[in-house]
Amino acid sequence: NAGVTQTPKFQVLKTGQSMTLQCAQDMNHEYMSWYRQDPGMGLRLIHYSVGAGITDQGEVPNGYNVSRSTTEDFPLRLLSAAPSQTSVYFCASSYNRDRANYGYTFGSGTRLTVV
Amino acid sequence: AQTVTQSQPEMSVQEAETVTLSCTYDTSESNYYLFWYKQPPSRQMILVIRQEAYKQQNATENRFSVNFQKAAKSFSLKISDSQLGDTAMYFCAFMKGIYGGSQGNLIFGKGTKLSVKP
């Protein structure tokens, strides 16, 4: 059981480039979400999904795009990378929204640097 | 809107001693959940303990326990018999509840970096 898998683990981008951070889970979890972690800021919610075909914005959605075509995958797209998007990105999932209060399963994170 | 405040950016404790990490939150909700997550240097986020707001009894998980003061909106974490492996960033987090379950999204504090010294 792999849990939540994030790829890549590290990435360096140039300003203006686009890329997709991958997140996949094999636990048949309906609820998936993306957070970014910045020094001194804790984790902040970017986007989330309560099931395939359904996504919604979190606290800091600007500059990011998501889609959920399957239950397993929830990719995060950076449309035109900016230095302000330098951060560590975490994907997290739970069985469903109602049971998220039992805790998430987190991926191991992607450290993104935009130069 | 809900907010979570951790007022101690860094703390240190000697091995085998007890340490308490502070967390306060602000909400107008009556149904919610509170969590402590641990992030060791490996970067992995690990759930340490959770508390349901409608339960008076403080949650306990082995050496970890909480002091939940609902009226004061305080949720501190006590680590007893500290071990070197407890060295990590600790995040307090809030989740709104809805009837029969939860809203799903976590609101995190900024974290407390705990160092356990030998």
Compute, in degrees rounded to 10, the torsion defined by CA atoms B43, A41, A34, A28: 50
Average pLDDT over residues B7-30: 96
CA–CA separation, B38 and A24 (whole Å):
22
**What is the pLDDT, as a whole number, of residue A100?**
81
- Looking only at the bridges linking them, the beta strands covering A10-13 and A110-114 are parallel
Measured between beta carbons, the chain B residues lying within 8 angstroms of A43 are 91, 106, 108
Measured between beta carbons, the chain A residues lying within 8 angstroms of B105 are 33, 45, 48, 58, 100
Category of A109 on φ-ψ map: left (φ > 0), alpha (ψ -120 to 50) or beta? left
What does DSSP assign to residue A69? S
**What is the pLDDT, as a whole number, of residue A96?**
83
**What is the pLDDT, as a whole number, of residue B100?**
64
Q: How far is B118 from chain A (nearest CA, A)?
A: 26
Between chains, do B105 and A45 touch, taking CB under 8 Å as contact? yes
10-residue block means of pLDDT along chain A (115 residues)? 91 97 96 94 94 94 96 96 97 87 91 97
Nearest alpha carbon to residue A105 among A7, A9, A23:
A23
A&B contacts, CB < 8 Å: 69
Q: Could you read off the pLDDT of B76-117 as tens digits, one per residue?
A: 999 999 999 999 999 999 999 876 667 779 999 999 999 999
pLDDT above 90 (res B20): yes
Is the Cβ–Cβ distance between B68 and B20 less than 8 Å?
Answer: no
